[in-house]
Chain A
Amino acid sequence: MDLELKDTPGQLVLALQPISDFEGNIVSVVHHRDKKTPRGMIPVQVAFEIGGEKVSGLINKLKSIGIIVARVGEERLRESRAGILIGHIIHSDIRDTIDQIDATGYAEVVDLTMSMPGIDQRSSARLVINATGKTEMEYALELLRNIAREKDLLLIEPI
């Protein structure tokens, strides 16, 4: 979230308090004291984790105390892990493998690179899975483990 604060003491604390009141977990704060916006305000970038349903309430609260909310960006899938599958990946329905992960709602296969050395030989595939958080990533990897077991594929997990 990009905020604009008045150049008077106490403004940063004033801007951060509502985030914590709305149970947001602040990840980083960058306070550009030496820069000024055309409106003569100080720009501040805040990154935080918060439930999606609380965002509009937070924005209204910030506006009501005189803070300008210049931009709101969302990064939903924050966790990313790579894994490798070895075996008859295409013939065991790679589309179904991906669909099962995507269908969770909290994890997605965002990259898939395959190598198929020959018709009768086992293929290798590198998947990148993104998930909304660490716990969700664990669930997604557990699901992938079960799929690999079911389809007789070797799964190489990240350490």
Chain B
Amino acid sequence: MKKIRISIIGFGVIGSGVAKVISKKRDYIKHRHGIDLELVGIGERNGGIACEDGVDPIEAYNLAKTKEMEKHPCWKEEMNGINVIREVNADIVVETTPTNIDSGEPGLSHMMTAFKNKRHVVTSNKGPLAVAYKELIKTAEENDVQFRFEASVGGAMPVFNLVRECLQANKILSIKGILNGTCNYILTRMSTEGMSYEHALSEAQELGIAETNPSYDVEGMDTACKLVILANEILGMDSTYKDVEIEGITGITIESLKLASDKGYTIKLIGEVEAEKLRVAPRLVPKDHPLAVGGTLNVMSLHTDLAGEITITGKGAGAIETSSSILSDVINIAKR
């Protein structure tokens, strides 16, 4: 049995979700893959937990839920994210702090510190990847550690691992898809129920699908970040967020959806990368097209030279779904 020690940096919805899934799946992963996942550290902004003998993931999850992390017997104020990464002897650092697309911080510093301390990194955090992709890849290589980020694009959908493990001989020519569940939900409701944009948005906010400040999603910035990561990792580009031409969904009218529908189309916010061009824009999609998925679903089509068109669809958000991708990266690294 191979023991893999894990630290989680950023213990919000995603980070605590990973802890919960580690607890739930620990025996299954032991039995199926011969790997024992042990949580040894948790780092937050205002402190953290370091416990070389193992932290009970469910106890930590419950404390995070009630925002009482400091009540944990091992909680120390000086043990913030960076210090947990430096001092706790973990094999893999799971970085799940919130995305910041301007500076990539604090995630960027967390990841660089982890690499320099010879720890592998698995992340769902788009910010550092969208602003400093090349630097991160280079630093990981120089320190001879693995860097995986399946959860950063498309939540539960396996896109990077799909390309890495199953499409090795293919050249990927272009990628297009729906990469933001919030926008897809709003456009689906406008289209099927004839709701106004404002109405559909407030419904999404009530359901917790959209943030109180939804601009990051509805103005296309989230889709643009994901597109940059796809372009760099899969198409070998060296792009940043500033290279993306972005148009969001705030200008879409109910009348336009009706006019589209009368001719057999729907309107979707599509991220597309092809021939060095990155673009996020609302597009007309035929209703019977593989990209015309509804609700909060995400979908991606990869145009390849050998396999032709490959389309995957699935849940693009949610703590448990995202944890599926994070654990897949963790197990992949553990098996090497």
Contact = CB atoms under 8 A, between A and B. Distances in A.
Report if A and B associate in a common complex: yes
B282 A156 contact: yes
A157 B270 CA distance: 11
Interface string B263-284: 1010100100000000001111
A84 B284 contact: yes
Given A82-B265, A86-B251, A157 B281 contact: yes
B319 interface: no
B285 A117 contact: no
Interface string A107-136: 000000101010000111110100000000
Given A154-B247, A157-B281, A115 B255 contact: yes
Given A117-B253, A124-B253, A125-B259, A156 B270 contact: no
Given A84-B284, A86-B253, A159 B270 contact: yes
B252 A83 contact: no
Given A84-B260, A84-B284, A158 B265 contact: yes
A158 B260 CA distance: 10
A158 B270 CA distance: 11
Contacts of B20: none
Interface string B227-267: 00000000000000000000100011101101110110101
- The majority secondary structure among interface residues of chain A is strand
Given A84-B256, A124-B255, A154-B247, A159 B263 contact: no
Nearest to A83: B284
A44 B79 CA distance: 83
B285 A84 contact: no
B284 A158 contact: yes
- The majority secondary structure among interface residues of chain B is mixed
B40 interface: no
Interface residues of A, number: 19
Contacts of A125: 259
A156 B253 contact: no
Contacts of A123: 255
A158 B291 CA distance: 12
A126 B252 contact: no
A158 B283 contact: yes
B176 to A, nearest CB: 7
Contacts of B289: 159
A156 B283 CA distance: 5
Given A82-B263, A82-B284, A84-B284, A156 B256 contact: yes
A157 B258 CA distance: 15
A51 B283 CA distance: 33
Contacts of B247: 154
Interface string A76-118: 0000001110110000000000000000000000000101010
A124 B265 contact: no
B258 A115 contact: yes
A27 to B, nearest CB: 22
B251 A154 contact: yes
B149 to A, nearest CB: 27
B219 to A, nearest CB: 13
Interface string B140-171: 00000000000000000000000000000000
Contact of B283 (A87, A122, A159): A159
A159 B284 contact: yes
Given A115-B255, A159-B291, 5 more contacts: A86-B256, A113-B262, A124-B256, A128-B263, A156-B281
23 contacts: A82-B260, A84-B259, A84-B284, A86-B252, A86-B253, A87-B251, A113-B262, A115-B256, A115-B259, A117-B253, A122-B253, A124-B255, A124-B256, A126-B260, A126-B263, A128-B263, A154-B252, A156-B252, A156-B284, A158-B265, A158-B284, A159-B270, A159-B291
Interface of A: 82-84, 86-87, 113, 115, 117, 122-126, 128, 154, 156-159
The 8 A-B pairs with the shortest beta carbon distances in the complex, nearest first, are A115-B255, A124-B255, A124-B256, A126-B259, A158-B284, A154-B251, A159-B283, A124-B253
Interface of B: 176, 247, 251-253, 255-256, 258-260, 262-263, 265, 267, 270, 281-286, 289, 291
